[in-house]
Structure 1
Amino acid sequence: MGFVKNILKKLKKFYSFEDKLISELKHDHQKLFSLFNKIEKNIQKRNYEKIPEILKKFHYEYRLHIIYEDNYFYTYMKRKYKNDDKILEFINQKQEEMKSITKAIADFINRFDSIKEIQTEKFKNELQKLGKALKSRVEFEEKELYTLYS
């Protein structure tokens, strides 16, 4: 299924509460971590030729997740908390942080677009940093941010 069809499939209604939203977002997180783990396993096995395709899939799934999260979660949260300046500021700050992470991921994918570059220590080091940042962000979302959704 194409990218646009996947987006349209997920973006049924804006602004309203969706019972399954948080479980779907958490499921997306698991898909992303699964792909991330595949990249790490292929590095360990020195199967560098498989990594570009996994990176491409990771980036695709990540973009789907972000579009879904922005259009459902953040849109709903901004509407829900429109009269609470403190929470609204917090939500806006977290969304801006996510934009920075999204840019870092896109930059990473664009920088390491060849097998030669993927075989470097720089790739491994930056992949580890990216993994730590993502893990930290996902833990925060699932344990704290998503609890505001109801």
Structure 2
Amino acid sequence: MFRIFSGKSRDKALREDQTNRAANGGQPGRTINYDPSLIMTLKGDHHELVQIYRRVWSEGYEKQDFRKVAALLKTFKSTFQAHLIKENVSFYVYLEQSMAGDSHTLQIVKDFRTDMNDIANAVVQFCKRYSREVFTGEMLMDFKQDYEKIGEALTRRVSLEERELYTLYHP
């Protein structure tokens, strides 16, 4: 069934659309609004993740307390995944919407997102592999190298995000 709008209904719909555009930075179809506290929240997550990651080494592995390693890695993994959800939903979707008219920058943002997904997969696999209360001989031999590789990738990524990518986020 078709509904025919009177002049008043059409005017009301236009006003609502204008209000929604104003709330969304003038962009039609924007689904994620700017959050002035988002970048500080994401940086806070980074700080928390670094602290947990360091504790995996100092409180767990160095003391050969593999229960502690497993517990801290489970905490790290869940905190990391919560951060990724926040970043994917609130940050990347907003940037992709706001950069829709700038195909070059939009591609850079998409490349960052893809790269982060690759890093995330490696981090989750690392956490799953070493979230055991007993390590095999092979796990003992591999842990240090794997820990350092993951740490380097995360350090590089956090630095790049905070120095370059987060500067693109604005109303």
TM bucket by the smaller chain? Answer: 0.7 to 0.9
TM-score (norm 2): 0.76
Amino acid at match of 1:130: I
SS in 1 for 2:124: helix
- Which of 116, 134, 145 is equivalent to 2:135? 116
SS at match of 2:135: helix
| Native 8 Å contact 2:52 2:76 kept in 1 | yes
How far the C-alpha of 1:111 sits from its partner, in A, is: 2.0
Higher RCO, 1 vs 2 (CA within 8 Å, ≥6 residues apart): 1
Q: Taking every aligned residue pair, what percent have the same amino acid on both sides? A: 30
Q: Deviations over 1:95-138 (max 9, x none)?
A: 00011011101111222232214960201110110001000000
Q: Whole-Å Cα distance in 2 between the matches of residues 34 and 109 of structure 1?
A: 16
Query: Could you say if the C-alpha distance between residues 75 and 144 of structure 1 is closer, same or farther in structure 2, counting changes exceeding 3 Å?
Result: same
Is the Cα contact below 8 Å between 2:69 and 2:130 reproduced in 1? Answer: no
> Whose Rg is larger?
2
| TM-score, with structure 1 as normaliser | 0.87
- Say if 2:42 and 2:87, in contact at 8 Å, map to a contact too: yes
Q: Which runs of 5+ in 1 are unaligned?
A: 1-13
Distance, in Å, in 2 between the alignment partners of 1:139 and 1:145 is 10
5+ residue gaps, structure 2: 1-30
In the TM superposition, residue 47 of structure 1 has moved relative to its aligned partner by 2.2
* Cα contact 1:117–1:123 (8 A) shared by 2: no
Give the number of aligned pairs: 137
User: Which of 46, 61, 67 does residue 64 from structure 2 map onto?
Assistant: 46
- Structure showing the higher helix proportion among its residues: 1
**Partner residue, 1:4:** none
What CA RMSD, in Å, does the superposition of the two structures yield over aligned residues? 1.4
